[in-house]
Amino acid sequence: MKLDSYWLDSAPPFKGGSDAPLHSLGRVDVAVVGGGFTGLSAALTLAKRGASVAVLEAGRVAGEASGRNGGHCSNGVAHDYEGLVRRFGETKARAMYRDFDAAVDSVEAIVRDEAIDCDFVRSGKLKLAAKPQHYEGLARTFETLGREVDTGMELIERARLPTEIDSAQFHGGLLQKTSAQMHVGRFGVGLAEAAARRGARIYESATVTRLERLSGRAHRITSARGTIEAGQVFLATGASRPGPLSWFRRRIVPVGSFIVATEPLDAAVAQRLMPGRRNYVTTRIIGNYFRLTPDNRLIYGGRARFAMPGAGSDEKSGRVLRESLGTVFPALRAVKLDYCWGGLVDMTADRLPRAGEHDGLLYSMGYSGHGVQMSTHMGRVMADMIDGRAVSSPWLELDWRAIPGNFGDPWFLPFVGAYYRVQDMIH
């Protein structure tokens, strides 16, 4: 079993990285810090408009959250919609929900326009009720949203569930039909190659160590690959731990999420277990998410342990996920696991994204486990903002306070995990 992301291990190498000394670029219009989906999407959009862009990535392109997730590209907010209405009002809550829909459209448009080979398909997302009362909650959601906000939803009663999934663990589900899935490793490399083709200079292994504000939004950036000046800086770093980003770290909790990939299943077994080949998520707070790949591997993930990723931690989490997988699909209890990996989710206190400007730095992050589509979409939105265009986004106006006791090292994660486990037992 490889302790590596299946998506990254099976993606082609990125060949468009820049070998030119960073200082030789002189001054660029925009420096993008972070070479995940957010930064690469922004770089592609800006480069297509003729801007000079340098992308500074601490590791490899799409090597962190962008390439270490479950491969879901799903519409619909993860929150209780009625709770969003109570907090923000009907108009704002509806804008938030529909922005997730627009985000999936953004991914599809880039895949199409740049001819990225990443197995993008509109599979739909099936949210599975782990308890009978959870199905009642899904039914209320369907009633609230299905009339006007998401008219394509479908409520799946327990008696009909075998047409979608062969598991006795669930009590019905809510199907959101416009959600998609893809090979995120190949998408990330394709996005980077597209940006490089348009003229963006992409530097891997370029950890940013210093940001010096010159005037307005202009900064001098020092990195492991050298120094550069930029008229504007866009931070697309997610839960990144290195670099001078303390203001953002106080507002984000890096939560580990862990995933396993099985060996390719027999085609008949895969078809019997998941005939709909959807994105599947469960309703528990510490729930699971899973899907099939085109070659019939089962990608199965969740917050198996409230711990940081790493070789030992990933292996322990893999054992937890194997047990969970065998409970959901008893026929797979003895299946071989080919991959096991972890990644950091950039979680905000209310699990809503944040975007805007702080101290002359533009930023977008905090996708809280729904970053595949939102990161790509927000890269395009923030490119418009950088370009001086009128921007309308529900995430730009949100208050973003520091989390008490959070100084970057998530010492409190085990306590959070214990609390959520109790909540899962109660509700």
Looking at residue 192, its amino acid is A
102 in helix, strand or coil? Answer: helix
Alpha carbon distance 112, 360 (integer Å): 34
Give the pLDDT confidence score for residue 330 in this predicted structure. 97
Give the pLDDT confidence score for residue 126 in this predicted structure. 97
Averaged pLDDT, 68-89: 91
**Beta strand residue intervals within 96-146, DSSP E:** 125-128
User: 83: how many CB neighbours lie within 10 A of its CB?
Assistant: 12
Instruction: State pLDDT tens for residues 198-234.
Output: 999 999 999 999 999 999 999 999 999 999 999 999 9
Averaged pLDDT, 253-264: 92
Instruction: State pLDDT tens for residues 10-31.
Output: 999 999 999 999 999 999 999 9
Alpha carbon distance 301, 69 (integer Å): 8
Give Cα separations from 354 to 2, 274, 336 (angstroms): 34, 35, 39
Locate the domains of the chain by residue range. Answer: 6-120+181-256+348-416
Q: What is the residue-averaged pLDDT of the chain?
A: 92
Looking at residue 317, its amino acid is S
Alpha carbon distance 395, 81 (integer Å): 16
Give the pLDDT confidence score for residue 423 in this predicted structure. 60
- Token pair, residue 89, equals 């009002």
pTM equals: 0.94
Instruction: State pLDDT tens for residues 321-357.
Output: 999 999 999 999 999 999 999 988 898 999 999 999 9
CATH code for 6-120+181-256+348-416? 3.50.50.60
Model confidence at 116: pLDDT above 90: yes
